[in-house]
Amino acid sequence: MNEHDSERLAGLLVSEGMVPAEDDASADVVIFNTCTIRENADLKLYSALGHLKAEKVRRPDMQIAVGGCMAQKDRGQILERAGWVDVVFGTHNLASAPALLRRAAAEGPLVDVWDAPDPEAARDMAPALYAVRELPWAAWMTIQTGCDNTCAYCIVPSVRGEEISRPLDDLVAEGTMLAKSGVTEITVLGQNVNSYGRDITKRRPLFADLLRALGEIEGIERIRFTSPHPKDLGPETIAAMAETAAVCPQLHLPLQSGSDKVLSAMRRGYNSARYLSRLADARARIDDLHVTTDLIVGFPGETEKDFEESLAVVAEADFDSAYTFIFSPREGTRAADMVDDFVADEVIADRFRRLKEVLDRSALRHHVAREGRREEVLVEGPSRRNDQMISGRTRQGKLIHFPITDVSARPGALVHVEVTHGAPYHLLGELVSVERGPRHKVRLPLLRS
């Protein structure tokens, strides 16, 4: 979601007549779009701002802005610690960034952070259509902002506000416009996509309806989404995934812990048995389902017994991959006050290592099982580590690298690749055929005589 907000910010600046700069030294405007989920984000921000101080002294007209979740939370503290910042704006007034920069140029440094979102502004996200996307054939689509859950470790409801859903018709219209521009893959975003539309209908969520409606848009070949909440994953969503051809067989279902005691302390709203039951339902309906998850190690009060229960559930869930995090106390959350129950760093490090071993075994087993299969792959571009290889994603979202043997397998093309090797974090393969070339529009520079 933060990546998409950055794309929207870039689009807003381009609409003001700006162009991307090569580096800080040549930039007239530098914007930091911040996260506050973990403490290291705070440290990285102030380190980056410190590096820019000398450049700001050398070029006083250069403007520096800080936005996003950390700006929403800390507000005035940012100017206190980094007085060379020109603008601080929050999560609820991202679209105001260009106007705030103009004001600051005339009035001096300013902080403009809204305490709550404007529901109508949150539902009207037209600037997203003009976002500067990293991949022209793939687009993020924010369907809701905020979160109504009360997870003990999470700062998101404090900095993003309550859930506000965008109208379904607006989202379908946006998807249609994206398809006309050559976008073939959409990733739907929300803090809890399963509850999308509950604030609109006041009866039931509309997420399954949205998946089906997006799946009917001509030109949209792949639909992904993140993240659903396990407590709200219902049969209607699973059915929509199974029955809508464009929806990819990929499910990111955050577990966080396999200990029922810890899940209760986290205020997650489900236990391990309920989680595994929902996961089994999804696998039974959706063929070749790729499942990923989030896991937190060292939540306050987590005992060795709790951790061993987590390992058992993780092994039973048999995930394809996982995002693992060390608990990071965030001021303003319930968990931050559980100081007496904090787990020692050396204990967390050992548990983190043991958890990684279980996850790596599962990931490797899944990837080895795909050897010899023919996969439909959307090409992303040259491999970052080997320019003789191309990288792409299967429908399950798995990263695959294969040698360049056909120049028509360009970024945005859809190809078939036979898997030759499975590693824990990626696949290797050989190009079999090119199904189609890129559909996105390529902007060519104007030549002037």
Predicted local confidence at residue 331, as pLDDT: 86
Give the model confidence (pLDDT) of 118-152 as tens digits.
766 666 655 555 678 888 999 999 999 999 999 99
Quick one: pLDDT band at residue 446, thresholds 50, 70, 90? very low
Q: Strand 290-297 vs strand 185-189: parallel, antiparallel, or unpaired?
A: unpaired
pTM beyond 0.85: yes
Predicted local confidence at residue 445, as pLDDT: 40
**Mean of per-residue pLDDT scores for the chain:** 92
- What domains can you pick out in the chain, each with its CATH number? 2-112 (3.40.50.12160), 116-248 (3.30.750.210), 374-436 (2.40.50.140)
User: What mean pLDDT do residues 82-111 have?
Assistant: 94
Q: Percent of the chain having pLDDT more than 70?
A: 95
- Does residue 449 have a pLDDT over 60? no
User: What mean pLDDT do residues 296-309 have?
Assistant: 98
203 or 280, which is more confident? 280
341 or 130, which is more confident? 341
Predicted local confidence at residue 411, as pLDDT: 94
Predicted local confidence at residue 332, as pLDDT: 87
Give the model confidence (pLDDT) of 13-36 as tens digits.
998 899 999 888 899 999 999 988
Q: Percent of the chain having pLDDT more than 90?
A: 78
Give the model confidence (pLDDT) of 366-408 as tens digits.
999 999 999 999 999 999 889 899 999 999 999 999 999 999 9
Quick one: pLDDT band at residue 444, thresholds 50, 70, 90? very low
